[in-house]
Structure 1
C-alpha cells in the first residue's frame, strides 16, 4: 500500500485507497466479538453524541487501517487519550487493542505529560518500560523532542494518535512536527488517526512571529487555529515547515460525522490540568496568564476555570482560592498562598479569544512591572500583545490589529481542511 501526501480535494481519497475490509473487524469498525475478551476494559465513558450522529474517531475505524499494519513493525505516539471506543460506553487503549490483534507494536513514544498522562506540565518525561505491556517507552518531551534514527530503526510505520485541543501552545502539535520531520528523514510513513478539535469552531489570536518560535509555538499560526491533528499534519507538509521542506508520507484516517459546528466533549481529559469541557474551552484565553504572576487554577480542582493572585485587590476580586500541590501541579504558582481573582466555572462558552480578564487583571495589579514574565511572549507569539496591554488598548483595538494576519491564515489553511 502506497502512502500519499494529501492536499486539496484528494484528502478523502484515503478512504477509497484503503476501503478494503479486514476479516478481523466488523463493519462498524468495532473489534471483532471473538477478540473482545482479550482486551481489558477500563471505566465506562459514553461516546459523545449530541447531534444524533455518532462521531467515529479515526482509531475506531480499524477496517481502514489494520491492513496497513499487516506484517509491519509498528511504533505508536500515544497517551491516555489514544483509545478505541465501544458501543457499550467502554473503551480500550489503542496499544492494548493492537497487541491483542497480534499487531507487531515495537515501542511507544510519549509526548508531554507522559504515556499515561499524569505528569506535570513541563515535567521531564523519562524513557522506560510500560509496566502493563512491557513495551519500551521513549519520551518526546524534555531534551529528546525529536525521535532519533536509532529510536526509529526497528519501525516500518509510525502511528500518531493524540487528542489535541486546538491551541498553538498546546505542545502536541509541536510533537507532531518533530515526529513527521524524523520520519521524513528516515523514510518512515506516518498514519494519523484523527480526532475532533473541541475548539475547532473558531480562529483567533495573534499569529506567531518567527523570532518567537519555541516548543509552545513552532509555526506562523494564530493561538486558536481551528484544525484537527490530521488537517494540521497536512498543513505542515504543504507549507514545507519540515527541515529542507521534505514532506512526510502521511495517511489520515478522518473522523466520521464530524464538522466544526459539532459540539464534542472529550470523554478523557487530554492532560492533568484540563479536567472538563469548560477548562478546554477557556484554555486558549486563560493560558495566557501562565506568562504572568497570575495563577490560572493550577493546584486546584478547577484548573483553567479560575484565576487569581495574592497581588489582586480583594475588594475588586472577592473570589479567593489557595493553590496546593496536586496531580499535574506539584508546585503551583503561589502555592499555599491565598489568591484573589475570578471564578469562570459558570461563564458562557467562548467562540473567540477573551482578553478582558487579562487586561483587567493587569490594570488591577499594583506592581505592574512584575505582572508579565518572559514566557508571556512565547505564549502570545509576539511582543506586541504585552505592549498593547501596557499601553491601555482595549480588547477591540487589540483584535483589530490581528485581522489581516487572520485573514491570511484562513486562506493558507483552506487547502488542508478535511471537514466543513
Structure 2
C-alpha cells in the first residue's frame, strides 16, 4: 500500500490507498510536491493473483472433497485497511481454505516438498503436515503422478504453484502429470494462475521428442513465455495428455498483469532461487546443472555465479568455495576452490545465453570433466548443443540454429495467451 500526502493551503489532506491483494512493494510514505494536483498522480493497479480471486473459485469447491497441489508459493495476499504494515503480508492457500470450511482431504507435494525445503533432486516423502494435520502425498518420490487410489476420495483438484517459465523447472511436468491423472479419473482440475517472471521473452533450444523426461515432457523451448495457466490450456488442447485425453480444466486468470509486467516473487519458488536476479539468470545458468560446473549451489549466490576447480585460475578474478547449506546438502565441487564469474550484478536478461557455457568449456583445464552427457542433454533437450560447444561454434551460430523451432512454437503459443 502507499500513502499520498497532498499539501493544500496550510493543512494536510491524507488519502489512503488500500491495496487489496497482489504483488506490491513494502509500504512507504512519500511526500508529494505541493504543486502536484491529485489528478496528476498515476496509480498503477496491483497484480491480483488468481488465489486472491476467491469469488471466482470458491463456488467450484462448495460441497466438494478437495485435493490441493501446492507448495510454499501457494499463498493469498492479505488485505490491509489501516496504516500499520502487516507483519506477514500473506496466508497460505490451504490455511485460508480450511478457515473457510473448504473440505480439503489431502495435499499433493511437488519437488522440494510442500513447505519448499527439500534439496533439488531429493525424493519427497509422504507424510502429514504438522500445521494442518492433512495427509501429504509426494509427487516427487516413488510416483510423480497421483494414482487412482490417491484420487479415489477427491471430487476436484486445485493446482496452485508458482512457476518461473523454464522448461526444466519441474513444476510444469508435475502439472502435466496431474492433468493426466485427473483426465483418467474424470476429476475436474482448477488451475490458479500466477505471473511468470520470465514471460517477457521466448528463447533457447526446443525439446526434441527423443529426449523428453521429467525435465521436459513436451516439445517446447527452454523459455516459453507463458503463465502456468496458459500452459495448462496448451497441454489440454494440443493433446499432450497421455492417450490424447483432455482434462476438465478451469483456469482462474490473473488481473492487471501483462507479459512485460515487473513482478518480484514474495517467497522463494524453490530453495536455490533466492531473488529476482537468480530467477532471471536461471534459464542460462541452469544449463550448468547438466555439467560438473557449479552454478552457485552451496553459496549465497545460487544461480548468480558459476565456477569449478578445473577452470583455469589465471582467467578469473572471482573464486569461491561451495559448502553444504540450505537447499544444497551436497553441492558440486563441495569444499573445493572454484574459479569463475560473479554475475550477481548482471543486467536483466531477455535472452537465453550460452556465452558462459562456452567460456567454461574454453577455459577448462580438462574438457572431459565438463559435460555430464546424458544429464546435459536432458536439460538442453537436444544433443546438438553439447556438440556445438565442443566444436567451437559461436554463440551467434548456436542461437541461429534455434530460430526455426522458436518461430513454429510462437504460432502455437499465440492460441493460448490470456493477457493480450
The verdict on a shared fold, with TM-score over 0.5 as the criterion, is yes
Q: Which residue of 2 aligns with 1:341?
A: 340
1:142 Cα deviation from its structure 2 partner:
2.4
> Which 4+ stretches in 1 moved above 4 angstroms?
44-47
Closer/same/farther in 2, CA of residues 382 and 192 from structure 1, 3 Å limit = same
Closer/same/farther in 2, CA of residues 205 and 96 from structure 1, 3 Å limit = same
Closer/same/farther in 2, CA of residues 280 and 70 from structure 1, 3 Å limit = same
SS in 1 for 2:285: helix
1:143 Cα deviation from its structure 2 partner:
2.2
Q: Which residue of 1 aligns with 2:52?
A: 60
Q: Which residue of 1 aligns with 2:381?
A: 381
SS in 1 for 2:76: strand
SS in 1 for 2:205: coil
Q: Which residue of 2 aligns with 1:176?
A: 175
Q: How far, CA to CA, are the matches of 2:343 and 2:269 in structure 1? A: 20
Cα deviations across residues 221-261 of structure 1 (Å, max 9, x unaligned)?
A: 00000111100000001110111111001111101000001
Cα deviations across residues 335-390 of structure 1 (Å, max 9, x unaligned)?
A: 11110100000001000001111101100002112211120000000000000011
> For residues 271-420 of structure 1, what are the structure 2 equivalents within 5 Å?
271-373=270-372, 374-420=374-420
- In the superposition, the TM-score normalised over structure 2's length comes to 0.88
Mapped contact 1:45–1:267 kept (Cα < 8 A): no
Cα deviations across residues 310-359 of structure 1 (Å, max 9, x unaligned)?
A: 01112111201110001110000011111010000000100000111110
SS in 1 for 2:371: coil
Mapped contact 1:56–1:256 kept (Cα < 8 A): yes
- If asked which structure has higher relative contact order (CA below 8 Å, sep 6+), I would say 1
Closer/same/farther in 2, CA of residues 51 and 215 from structure 1, 3 Å limit = farther
Count of residues in correspondence between the two structures? 379
Decide which structure has greater strand share.
2
Cα deviations across residues 122-181 of structure 1 (Å, max 9, x unaligned)?
A: 000000000000000000012210000000011100000000000000000000000000
Rg (Cα) greater in structure = 2
Q: How far, CA to CA, are the matches of 1:202 and 1:53 in structure 2? A: 23
Cα deviations across residues 33-73 of structure 1 (Å, max 9, x unaligned)?
A: xxxxxxxxxxx9859xx982200000000011111110000
Q: How far, CA to CA, are the matches of 2:232 and 2:347 in structure 1? A: 31
Q: How far, CA to CA, are the matches of 1:403 and 1:172 in structure 2? A: 26
1:29 Cα deviation from its structure 2 partner:
7.3
Q: How far, CA to CA, are the matches of 2:45 and 2:295 in structure 1? A: 35
Closer/same/farther in 2, CA of residues 77 and 51 from structure 1, 3 Å limit = farther
Mapped contact 1:317–1:341 kept (Cα < 8 A): yes
Mapped contact 1:29–1:63 kept (Cα < 8 A): no
Mapped contact 2:286–2:295 kept (Cα < 8 A): yes
Q: How far, CA to CA, are the matches of 2:383 and 2:316 in structure 1? A: 28
Cα deviations across residues 70-125 of structure 1 (Å, max 9, x unaligned)?
A: 00000000000000001345100000000000000000000000000000000000
> For residues 13-412 of structure 1, what are the structure 2 equivalents within 5 Å?
46=26, 52-88=44-80, 90-373=89-372, 374-412=374-412
Cα deviations across residues 172-208 of structure 1 (Å, max 9, x unaligned)?
A: 0000000000000000000110000000000001110
- In the superposition, the TM-score normalised over structure 1's length comes to 0.88
